[in-house]
Amino acid sequence: MKLPMGKIPIDLLKEVVFKNLGVKREEVVLGPAAGFDGAIIDVMDKSLIFSMDPITGAIERIGWLAVNINANDVATFGVEPAFLFSCILLPENADRKTVETICVQMDKAARHLGIAVVGGHCEVTPGLTNPIVVGCTMGITEKGNYVTAGGAKPGDKLILTKTAGIEGTAILASDREKQLKKAIDAPVLEEAKKFFNQISVVKDAITAIKTGGVNAMHDPTEGGVSGGIHEMADASNVGVKVFEKKISIAKETLEICRTFKIDPLQLISSGALLIAAKPDSTEKIVKALGDQQIQASVIGEFLDSPSRRVLIRTDGKETSLVRPYSDHLWQALQRKLK
């Protein structure tokens, strides 16, 4: 079976990847599991939060993305990211400028978030056409002082910060600008490219956790908002009801998605944050985010039955919440516009 582009299917993760994990160690509180953003390792009176992600579908600002995407995963535990390891894989035509561009971007992003880049690897790799940057981020907190993507409870409200498809919008506007100029006005594309500036959810997550009443958080990366909601429900073993009209989608995202004929809810959405909140804390969290100039809205609620995953369309009709087979960014990158 040929695998799709992007994340491998969840069934393959469960049947192969999760069955080959080496020895068990008592320090590992949370290891690889569907729907979770990272690992938790307890050392003495501290909990260490680790997460790893590659940047593969982007060319512009790849170093910036590598830092922010990895920092986001640690932040979803309610913990500030502190340290970063990076592995930079370069195509055979790379030169000094390529290395410098990536490293300067990473330095700028890390300084902005208060992260120390503490090690890694850099090489020219045969067979690559574009650079790949793999990052591993770590945060430190008091033992047990965190949330995970698996803490959502039936009755919890589902909050979404910002809008759907943020990262995908920025990548397509930058890497497919020449194609898109034929169909979309230049000012719209220029605004879309600025979506890179919304990629971080560190402020979103830390604001929410400090407000109180957060049971779980997850950032919707590959698979978009729709995939992220499924992952959160998987991790928490609950169902979910989502209201389409409550999900904010920027006009720039809508135009790009219409042009490439892709679904904005299945487009990589780093920069948005999903929050499972206790009902009596929801309004306080939304207000606290708003006070930090972070757009947030209640888009649904979690349900008892794990098999019930529904989307209430704008016209009121109920449909199944689609579980993406592959992120729609890959479809757009492979599609040639006429």
For residue 4, is pLDDT > 90? no
The fraction of the chain above a pLDDT of 90, given in percent, is 88
Q: Can you tell me the mean pLDDT for 270-291?
A: 98
Do 10-142 and 157-334 fold alike per CATH?
no
Euclidean distance between CA atoms 107 and 117, whole angstroms = 8
Residue 35 banded pLDDT, cuts 50, 70, 90:
confident
Residue 144: other Cβ atoms inside 10 A: 11
For residues 172-194, give the mean pLDDT: 93
User: Is the pLDDT reported for residue 292 higher than 80?
Assistant: yes
What is the per-residue pLDDT for 338? 66
pLDDT at 85: 98
Class of residue 112 by CB neighbours under 10 A (exposed 0-12, middle 13-18, buried 19+):
middle
Return the minimum-mean-pLDDT range out of 10-19, 249-258, 329-338.
329-338
- Of the candidates 264, 265, 273, 277, the one whose C-alpha atom is nearest the C-alpha of residue 292 is 273
CATH number of 10-142: 3.30.1330.10
pTM reported for the whole predicted model: 0.92
Question: Could you tell me the two tokens for 314?
Answer: 């704008």
Kindly tell me if the per-residue pLDDT of 30 is higher than 70. Answer: yes
**Average pLDDT of 283-294?**
98
Domain ranges within the chain, ordered by starting residue: 10-142, 157-334
Residue 57: predicted pLDDT:
65
Structure tokens at 272: 């948005």
What are the pLDDT digits (tens) for 68-85?
999 999 999 999 999 999
Instruction: Identify the pLDDT of residue 253.
Output: 98
Tokens matching residue 271:
């920069």
The fold for domain 157-334 equals: Phosphoribosyl-aminoimidazole Synthetase; Chain A, domain 2 (3.90.650)
Across the chain, mean pLDDT equals 95
DSSP H helical segments within the chain, as ranges? Answer: 10-15, 62-75, 96-113, 166-175, 177-180, 186-193, 202-211, 224-236, 251-260, 282-291, 328-334
Residue 134 pLDDT: 97
What phi, psi does 93 have (nearest 5°)?
Answer: -90, 10
pLDDT digits (tens, 9 = 90+) for 322-332: 999 889 999 99
- Which of 118, 120, 158, 119 lies closest to 275 in space, CA to CA? 158
pLDDT in tens, 41-59: 999 999 999 999 998 867 7
| 209-261 confidence digits (pLDDT tens) | 999 999 999 999 999 999 999 999 999 999 999 999 999 999 999 999 999 99
How confident is the model at residue 192, as a pLDDT?
97
